[in-house]
Structure 1
Amino acid sequence: MKAAMHTPQASEPKRVLPRSLRLRLILWYGSLIAVALGFFAILFLLLTTDAINQSVNDAVRTEARVAMLDVLDDLTASPPYWKGPLTMRVDTYRDPGVAVEVMDAQGQVRYLSTSGTRIPFGKDRASTLLAGQPSVSYDTVVDGQHVRVEALSIRAPVHGVSGNASGVPMGNGPVIGVLLVAKSLADVDATVLLLRTLLLLSGVATLVGTLIASWIIATRVLSPLSELMATARSIASSTVRGTRIGNLSQRVPKPRSHDEMAQVVDTFNEMLASLESATQAQRRFVADASHELRAPLTTIQGNLAFLQRHLDELPAEERRTMLADAHGETLRLAELVEELLLLARADASVDTSFVAQAEET
């Protein structure tokens, strides 16, 4: 018995909670805006970073040109080319955060800027420059700071000094050393970090503001739909199932706009008006049919009741007259019922044709 009592509860289907159309619209809009903002931020960051890097490269090359001029001034045109310790003026001209190092072909340090810290320089890069490649650019770390290094090959000024394709002064003799110029990227890294932070904060603020504005707009746009739903629920709640239709005189207020939502509201109000008119016509028809059916039934009931009480007292002719009247009312009642059946069949055929047309379309 307990199992039988719990069976109906277990078989009841779970009610699916409705999903908010407003929330889905906000999520769609938010996703599109987030993608657009992300694309714009990445593009802006790439362009800005490229411009900053180009500016840093130009600054490093400028420092390298100044340092190369100082190195060439202290070299001789004949071997061993190195007079002795270099007396460079590069520290006077350099920007803050610039380090300079000069090495000869044997790896001996000929000059080290005032910072006193060696610039990391691999053997592969040294071999490349000593083999004749004009310059090599790379990033590394000096004293815990991120720096960009411009490494230049130093040629002996055997036949004077000329400039290479990048405008850096170079000698015309053999490669006798390497010049390293390192510029700190601390300001650049701080600028890029600040730029990323500003882009992130502005993107989040823009996204949140757009979502709030979208929520307000969606609420205003979908408000007629909420009123339409409330009206439909009111009519459904006031309808007695199978016996009485609810108040169909209710209407949804028409929105001020002339968009698709206004068309939906107009169509819904027209449907309510048509249903109200059809319901009133049906009520009038039922009242008229009840009156028409009540009259012959009353006549038949009265004649039969009178005959039942006074059957032996009435003459035969009068009994035949009363029976004929009752029979005539019966025929009239049969005609009324037949007309009602014909009307019901006509309504059913119209509904069937509408359903068929809807299925075809």
Structure 2
Amino acid sequence: MSIRLRLGLWYGTLAAVLVAVFGAVVFSTVAAYLREDLRRSTERLADHFVESAQGRTDGASAETLMQAFAAPDVTVAVFDSAGRLLAATPPASPGLAPDEGEGTATGAAPARAERLPPFVRGGYRAERAIPAPNVFSVDEPVRAVVLGWFFTRRLMLDRLLRVLVVSGVLASVAGVFIGWGVAGGALRPVSMMVEAARRIARSQDFRHRLPTAGSRDELGQLTSAFNEMLAELEKAFENQRRFVADASHELRAPLATLQGNLELLERAANLSEAERRAVWRDIRDEVRRLGRLVSDLLSLARAEAGQGLHLLPVELDRVVTDVLRSMRNEVAQHRLVVEHLEPVQVMGDADRLRELLVILLDNAIRYTPPGGEIRVGLGHTPGPEVALSVADTGIGIAPEDLPHIFERFYRADKARSRATGGTGLGLAIARWIVEAHGGRIEVESQPGQGSRFTVRLPAARPASPETEAHT
């Protein structure tokens, strides 16, 4: 069952319940008013009958008296002290007779001296003593019983009930159709989302967007969120497609070189030993390049999968010292300057932070000519951060290339050629490592003057004296 149909049925049910409650209140109120009106009318009629009977003195006038009070919804009956019916207005006289077998009591009628017709039940009864019994040709006390019927009023209530039932049915049907229409209009953005999702699934084109009418209700917010999701999916899909294309292109070059060198070794049997060594050296370099490329691709794949880092307190100054010691051979042709190295502790992954510094140093070594200077610094900043900087006096980066250097496989024309042996993924991995630690990476560069990469990471909070005492 669709949501639209369920909403329509809910609207119809709600309308039926509301009309039923309203009808019950109206019906009970009107019925109570009519019963009270019947009581007052019966009491007034009984008093009026007694007053009229007191003014008559001959027995012949009893029939005239009874005819004067004949009414379609009132019965007036007169009984003697033994409970015998002396006079009654039609149509109740056939039903007003003493029960057979019931005894009588002197001066009072039995408790069940009269039987009421079924259609009188639920009405109102008023008894009055008549001090002038001679009107009915008897010398003993008599009493008048006035029965107010509910017949006319029952007809009114029956008509009211029919009106309420018909109104309830019509309100329920109208509620279903109104709910169907309202739900259709309210769920139109959802239907558009379903159609857009199906269209995207068929075409694999994430450029589709839902039209926004400027509404700020929940459905308008849902439409905006859906469009934002489509934009993110489009960007992710484009990044994935470009990543696959770039990775294929990057893998093709070393594989082609390997294939060419192997075919050369297979076909050229008269190569000299020096030429063979050169070919094997090229194969070795390409295999190493392939290994670095695959390792970088694996790191990025883990980053894309949202793989988190296990953060522990790390003394970053020791990490910097270890990396500089391990890379002293690579930096041998350059002048390495440690600007400052303060004791710094951060919450991080030591292996990833070591990889970050290796990437930055390797980047500086590749694009700084021999004899150039590479400067490394680590220290606290005025805020709750620490700053790790790697600067060089290399060829620098053009201003138009700066916004793109952290993209995968991006190489500037001058500063990022494949001749240096890089994979084009180092800075993308460096940015992921920094962001996974809750930091940010900044770059400043001038063509021909060098570049400076600055990594800012949150500083670890120093342990309190109480914590140190417990540990």
TM-score, structure 2 normalization? 0.56
Q: Distance in 1 between matches of 2:213 and 2:115?
A: 65
Structure 1, residues 171-229: CA drift from partner, whole Å, max 9, x if none? Answer: xxx98222122344332121111010011111211222122111111111011111112
The 3 A distance-change label for structure 1 pair 132 and 26 is: same
Note if contact 1:30-1:211 (Cα within 8 Å) is conserved in structure 2: yes
Q: Which letter maps to 2:261?
A: N
Q: Which letter maps to 2:266?
A: Q
Q: Identify the residue that residue 293 of structure 1 maps to in structure 2.
A: 251
Q: Which letter maps to 2:212?
A: K
The 3 A distance-change label for structure 1 pair 30 and 127 is: farther
Equivalence map 1:219-234=2 (5 Å): 219-234=184-199
Q: Distance in 2 between matches of 1:209 and 1:225?
A: 24
1:154 equivalent to 2:129? Answer yes
Q: Alpha-carbon deviation of 1:339?
A: 1.3
86, 99, 114: which one pairs with 2:62?
A: 86
Query: How many residues in Structure 1 have an aligned counterpart in Structure 2?
Result: 303
The 3 A distance-change label for structure 1 pair 292 and 27 is: same
Structure 2 residues not aligned, in runs of 5+: 134-138, 311-471
291, 295, 302: which one pairs with 1:334?
A: 291
Equivalence map 1:91-106=2 (5 Å): 91-92=67-68, 94-106=70-82
Q: Which letter maps to 2:246?
A: D
Q: Identify the residue that residue 42 of structure 2 maps to in structure 1.
A: 60
Note if contact 1:254-1:262 (Cα within 8 Å) is conserved in structure 2: yes
Equivalence map 1:300-315=2 (5 Å): 300-312=258-270, 314-315=271-272
Equivalence map 1:260-271=2 (5 Å): 260-271=218-229
The 3 A distance-change label for structure 1 pair 175 and 350 is: farther
Q: Alpha-carbon deviation of 1:46?
A: 0.7
71, 80, 96: which one pairs with 1:120?
A: 96
Q: Distance in 2 between matches of 1:289 and 1:190?
A: 90
Q: Identify the residue that residue 20 of structure 2 maps to in structure 1.
A: 38
Note if contact 1:97-1:184 (Cα within 8 Å) is conserved in structure 2: yes
Further displaced range: 184-193 or 82-91: 82-91
Q: Distance in 1 between matches of 2:193 and 2:103?
A: 80
Further displaced range: 214-223 or 179-188: 179-188
The 3 A distance-change label for structure 1 pair 251 and 114 is: closer
Secondary structure (helix, strand or coil) at the match of 1:199 reads helix
Equivalence map 1:277-288=2 (5 Å): 277-288=235-246
Q: Alpha-carbon deviation of 1:45?
A: 0.4
Structure 1, residues 280-308: CA drift from partner, whole Å, max 9, x if none? Answer: 11221222221221111111211221221
322, 326, 344: which one pairs with 2:279?
A: 322
Query: Identity of paired residues, percent?
Result: 31
The 3 A distance-change label for structure 1 pair 289 and 139 is: farther
Structure 1, residues 222-258: CA drift from partner, whole Å, max 9, x if none? Answer: 11111112222333344xxxxxxx2212222224532
TM-score, structure 1 normalization? 0.72
Whichever structure has more helix as a proportion of its residues is: 1
Please provide the CA RMSD for this pair.
3.6
Secondary structure (helix, strand or coil) at the match of 2:207 reads coil
Structure 1 residues not aligned, in runs of 5+: 1-18, 76-81, 159-173, 239-245, 354-361
The 3 A distance-change label for structure 1 pair 130 and 223 is: farther
Note if contact 1:98-1:182 (Cα within 8 Å) is conserved in structure 2: yes
Secondary structure (helix, strand or coil) at the match of 1:181 reads strand
Note if contact 2:130-2:144 (Cα within 8 Å) is conserved in structure 1: no
Q: Identify the residue that residue 199 of structure 1 maps to in structure 2.
A: 164
Q: Which letter maps to 1:71?
A: A
Q: Distance in 1 between matches of 2:140 and 2:8?
A: 67
Further displaced range: 34-43 or 83-92: 83-92
